[in-house]
Amino acid sequence: MKSGGFHLSTIDKVLSWARSSSLWYVTTGGGCCADEILAAMGPRYDLERFGCVQQIDPRQADLLIVTGLISYKAATHLRALYDQMPAPKYVMCLGSCATGGGPFAPEFSYGVVPGADRIVPVDIYVPGCPARPEAIMNGLITLQEKIRGHQRSHPQA
């Protein structure tokens, strides 16, 4: 390069590989999807083999997993949780409630936010009510592929 700049292509590849291989996550811990995360953490599914470790502190987390419904009172707290995380950060919406309000919003409840994407930018949605551990694993692997820049299961037309 003439201006003395440099490319980061190889380093970027290494960095994204490293980031995708150690997705430490923090969860909001609401709803029944939180139990499914516990099941996914357990010995049968063992989320840790993908490099996913649960964190309590959002400042040490790369991934925010939103589970359960979000009320309008909790919306500001969810945003604060997201703002505390260091970049690069990713958000996963787990289950119907976090994705679109589930069976509550907006027709049947006045206080439930219809989807976490109204509050934080969402990278990946995992459907299910609640989502099974296999679905959570599939979502995590898809997110890893997204971070690495690959397309695993959806070839481009």
Mark the segment that binds another protein (CB under 8 A) among 3-11, 51-59, 87-95, 113-121.
Answer: 113-121
Environment class of residue 150 by beta-carbon count within 10 Å: exposed (0-12), middle (13-18) or buried (19+)? exposed
Residue 83 sits in the site that holds another protein (CB under 8 A): no
Candidates 11, 14, 118, 127; binder of another protein (CB under 8 A) is 118
Shortest Å, Cβ 124 to another protein:
18
Considering the complex, state which of residue 6 and residue 110 has its C-beta at the smaller distance from another protein: 110
Residue 95 touching another protein (CB under 8 A): no
- Residue of the chain from 39, 53, 75, 141 that contacts another protein (CB under 8 A): 75
User: d(Cα 52, Cα 55) in Å, to the nearest integer?
Assistant: 9
Q: How far is CA 149 from CA 13, 16, 109, 124, 145, in A?
A: 9, 8, 39, 14, 6
DSSP 103: T
* Least distance to another protein, CB of residue 150, Å: 28
How far apart, in Å, are the Cα atoms of 139 and each of 41, 68, 116, 136? Answer: 14, 16, 16, 5
Tokens of 62: 């790369």
Among 39-47, 60-68, 99-107, 123-131, the segment contacting another protein (CB under 8 A): 99-107
76 binds another protein, rule: CB under 8 A: yes
Nearest to 93 by CA among 75, 116, 113: 116
> Rounded CA gap, 12 and 8, in Å?
6
Check residue 119 for interaction with another protein (CB under 8 A): yes
- The residue ranges that bind another protein (CB under 8 A) are 72-73, 75-76, 100, 105-107, 110-111, 113-114, 118-119
